[in-house]
Chain A
């Protein structure tokens, strides 16, 4: 039923258009700073800062040790340089690693939350109240580093679902955290995930017990606020046998001249017959038209299909950030498990995106599907990087990959780096790729039917991205269509 609804929605021209009309301005819409008193760690990174973060969060000793271990390992690592992106060296001593809005006590309900924070969310168009009332989406909002108030908790608790901030989970559910945290993305995994493990300040934790189908979309809204603060959130979702959950993540950041570092880690664990659907709309500040400022987004997202017949599906719409470095992946360990990756990445002006996925087929009869749509405009560079690995024991595995690029103008670049490693000869791996340009002919055709150029581009782009957009839950699909149009405004004609 849900899918049908989405299709009706995406086919409804009226909706597409009215959203575009509303967004006639082309500057970054979410560029405002909320003045809230913040409790900050001193600038820079060392073991004392990590102890400070851990102490502020009243963490148990094992958590502190985990962080320190990650930090010490990070010190031995180097920034990865294999991606098709260019940026000046990051000064890790010039970043504030912990910034928490000052709160009197832990809020029990919305009335206790700083009204200034609530206003921030209202500006973002995701007021907790509204979300609660209208959409039935449970929101765990993260501003800078601390999760402030989670709605719908009561209703979820009745089903045994845990949906809370990571800090709370460490306090309240240490066994679950110790079992799963770092089990999919180990602290030694890569440079940015190690950094995250050392300094992560909050994030969301979600646990769906055996056989439970989560009745609503769970959602986190991330936003970077304080100046010079990196945001290092950590998300963990565990779906026990036979359970189902759909999780939405939305991201924005205020406009700033300096680059803000964002290095998140998301881990998903799906047991036998469980299904996790994880959708992201990423709209971090991309920098200005000359390429100044913007968020550096270095994210590690990985899920494991641990049990047989389990399924993990990533859907992402990436329109923001000066740099996007992100490869949501699936380890297909259980037999008959399924991994999916649906992606739309848009780059404009001087944005750079190097994004894709890894599908690791370990179990027998595993399936994966990759649909990647890259749209480049301005002087931007957009790369798809993907790995399909079929191990020796993964007999009868199948993969299908489709990578399409669309170019607007002739100063941007689209690149595809598909890696395929097959160690089992019963596997079937298919890869298709296309590159096309928005033609003057297409735009003129629309113009001749009374459709102006901006609207024409939006129609063409949304057509190009449709297969991915149809995967998004309806609440997100409309916002995502709007974002595509905004991101590309002024890039044609």
Chain B
């Protein structure tokens, strides 16, 4: 589904990703872990197409197409979804209105007719139940005055509504207490199926107790330095990132 080869990227002249290779197949959940500044969020931003990041080398293929050639909105329409670490607030823009616009813009891109009000409402009710979000939250302005947990639940709800092929969760656990993490994770788990894939980007292992990955990759200095099964996350939790750093120093030396 997603094949990243030798990806180099940076921002404002500063190189952050130094040759990422990653292959994600449908039905899989991958976790990218790493210390602060290792390039986790940069990777998520580059995949989503944020314009302030510059791709210097490498290729990314998504569902057989060249992802890096596409605008951010095309990537979204092709089925790539980013759950933001810091979802933005847009005052006065009703959340439902926003999501309906997104759903229908994506349908338009795919040559489908827009959802009428009744079908949209039906779909919304269904997904609301699935990810456990209240109507009152959705009738407010987009993310305005939402708590950290509410913002993240809103991200997962949008994921449910847009039904992406690949969802990237960027530090979805940051700023959440354990109850909020559980609620958000339950939502994500209900959205997992054999046709989609999830890339979880996280600093801490605790999120992976709830969203259990098939593969764990450790990012350090802009490269994936270690990959393994879900147990790798536990090892990291136990030993800290220092052992990765030391291992790498040794390698370099």
| A52 CB–B CB distance under 8 Å | no
Contact indicator A11/B97 (Cβ below 8 Å): yes
Q: In the complex, A417 Cα to B215 Cα: how many Å?
A: 60
Q: Which segment, of B104-112, B223-231, B235-243, faces chain A?
A: B104-112
Contact indicator A459/B50 (Cβ below 8 Å): no
| B52 CB–A CB distance under 8 Å | yes
Q: Which segment, of A258-266, A285-293, A460-468, faces chain B?
A: A460-468
Tell me the nearest residue of chain A to B87, going by C-beta: A445
Q: Which segment, of A82-90, A135-143, A148-156, A435-443, faces chain B?
A: A435-443
Q: Which of A448, A451, A459 has the most CB of B within 10 A?
A: A448
- CB contact under 8 A between A449 and B102, given known A14-B114, A444-B50: yes
- CB contact under 8 A between A442 and B158, given known A14-B104, A450-B77, A460-B93: no
| A47 CB–B CB distance under 8 Å | no
Interface residues of B in 53-90 (CB under 8 A from A): 71-73, 75-77, 81-82, 84, 87-88, 90
| B51 CB–A CB distance under 8 Å | yes
Q: In the complex, A455 Cα to B94 Cα: how many Å?
A: 15
| A16 CB–B CB distance under 8 Å | yes
- CB contact under 8 A between A459 and B91, given known A14-B114, A440-B52, A448-B76: no
Chain A residues near B90: list those with CB within 8 A. Answer: 442, 445-446, 459-460, 463
Tell me the nearest residue of chain A to B77, going by C-beta: A450
| A17 CB–B CB distance under 8 Å | yes
| B96 CB–A CB distance under 8 Å | yes
| A12 CB–B CB distance under 8 Å | yes
Contact indicator B93/A462 (Cβ below 8 Å): yes
Q: In the complex, A415 Cα to B89 Cα: how many Å?
A: 24
Contact indicator B104/A463 (Cβ below 8 Å): no
Q: In the complex, A439 Cα to B52 Cα: how many Å?
A: 13
Chain B residues near A452: list those with CB within 8 A. Answer: 71, 73, 105
| A425 CB–B CB distance under 8 Å | no
| A447 CB–B CB distance under 8 Å | yes
**CB-CB contacts of B21-53 with A at 8 A, as 1s and 0s?**
000000000000000000000000000111110
A230 to chain B, nearest CB (A): 37
Contact indicator B162/A14 (Cβ below 8 Å): no
Chain A residues near B102: list those with CB within 8 A. Answer: 446, 449-451
Contact indicator B93/A455 (Cβ below 8 Å): no
- CB contact under 8 A between A17 and B93, given known A447-B71, A448-B72, A450-B109: no
Q: In the complex, A463 Cα to B91 Cα: how many Å?
A: 6
The answer, among B51, B84, B100, for a CB contact under 8 Å with A14, is B100
Contact indicator B82/A465 (Cβ below 8 Å): no
Contact indicator A447/B76 (Cβ below 8 Å): yes
Q: In the complex, A440 Cα to B142 Cα: how many Å?
A: 16
Q: In the complex, A464 Cα to B93 Cα: how many Å?
A: 7
Chain A residues near B52: list those with CB within 8 A. Answer: 440
Tell me the nearest residue of chain B to A442, going by C-beta: B88
Chain B residues near A75: list those with CB within 8 A. Answer: none
Chain B residues near A460: list those with CB within 8 A. Answer: 90, 93
The answer, among B51, B77, B98, B106, for a CB contact under 8 Å with A444, is B51
Contact indicator A449/B104 (Cβ below 8 Å): no
Q: Which of B77, B99, B101 has the most CB of A within 10 A?
A: B101
B117 to chain A, nearest CB (A): 8
| B13 CB–A CB distance under 8 Å | no
Contact indicator A450/B76 (Cβ below 8 Å): yes
| B196 CB–A CB distance under 8 Å | no
Q: In the complex, A455 Cα to B93 Cα: how many Å?
A: 13
Chain B residues near A449: list those with CB within 8 A. Answer: 76, 98-99, 102, 105, 158, 162
Q: In the complex, A453 Cα to B73 Cα: how many Å?
A: 9
- CB contact under 8 A between A448 and B88, given known A11-B97, A13-B100, A16-B101: no
Tell me the nearest residue of chain B to A438, going by C-beta: B90
B156 to chain A, nearest CB (A): 14
Interface residues of A in 84-143 (CB under 8 A from B): none
Q: In the complex, A466 Cα to B141 Cα: how many Å?
A: 11
- CB contact under 8 A between A450 and B162, given known A463-B90, A463-B141: yes
Contact indicator B92/A463 (Cβ below 8 Å): yes
A439 to chain B, nearest CB (A): 7
Contact indicator B91/A13 (Cβ below 8 Å): no
Contact indicator B84/A445 (Cβ below 8 Å): yes
Chain B residues near A11: list those with CB within 8 A. Answer: 94, 96-97
The answer, among A16, A445, A453, for a CB contact under 8 Å with B88, is A445
Contact indicator A448/B48 (Cβ below 8 Å): yes
Contact indicator A441/B88 (Cβ below 8 Å): yes
Contact indicator A13/B97 (Cβ below 8 Å): yes
Q: In the complex, A465 Cα to B91 Cα: how many Å?
A: 10
Chain A residues near B71: list those with CB within 8 A. Answer: 447, 452
Contact indicator A17/B92 (Cβ below 8 Å): no
Chain B residues near A17: list those with CB within 8 A. Answer: 101, 104-105
Chain B residues near A462: list those with CB within 8 A. Answer: 92-93
Interface residues of A in 438-493 (CB under 8 A from B): 439-442, 444-453, 455, 459-460, 462-467
- CB contact under 8 A between A450 and B94, given known A14-B104, A17-B104, A445-B88: no
Q: In the complex, A439 Cα to B50 Cα: how many Å?
A: 13
Tell me the nearest residue of chain A to B141, going by C-beta: A463
Chain A residues near B93: list those with CB within 8 A. Answer: 459-460, 462-463, 466
B219 to chain A, nearest CB (A): 21
B48 to chain A, nearest CB (A): 5
Contact indicator B105/A447 (Cβ below 8 Å): no
Contact indicator B92/A464 (Cβ below 8 Å): yes
Chain B residues near A446: list those with CB within 8 A. Answer: 90, 98, 102
Chain A residues near B109: list those with CB within 8 A. Answer: 450
Q: In the complex, A448 Cα to B100 Cα: how many Å?
A: 14
**CB-CB contacts of B152-173 with A at 8 A, as 1s and 0s?**
0000001000100000000000
Q: In the complex, A442 Cα to B73 Cα: how many Å?
A: 13
Q: In the complex, A445 Cα to B51 Cα: how many Å?
A: 12
Contact indicator A447/B88 (Cβ below 8 Å): no
Enumerate chain A interface residues (CB-CB to B < 8 A): 11-14, 16-17, 439-442, 444-453, 455, 459-460, 462-467
6 further A-B contacts with Cβ under 8 Å, apart from A445-B90, A451-B105, are A14-B114, A17-B101, A446-B90, A447-B73, A448-B75, A448-B82
- What are 11 A-to-B residue pairs whose CB atoms are below 8 Å? A11-B97, A442-B90, A444-B48, A449-B99, A449-B102, A453-B73, A459-B97, A459-B98, A463-B94, A464-B91, A465-B92
In the A-B complex, the 10 residue pairs with the smallest Cβ-Cβ separation, listed nearest first, are A463-B92, A463-B93, A449-B102, A447-B72, A450-B76, A450-B106, A13-B101, A466-B92, A13-B100, A445-B88
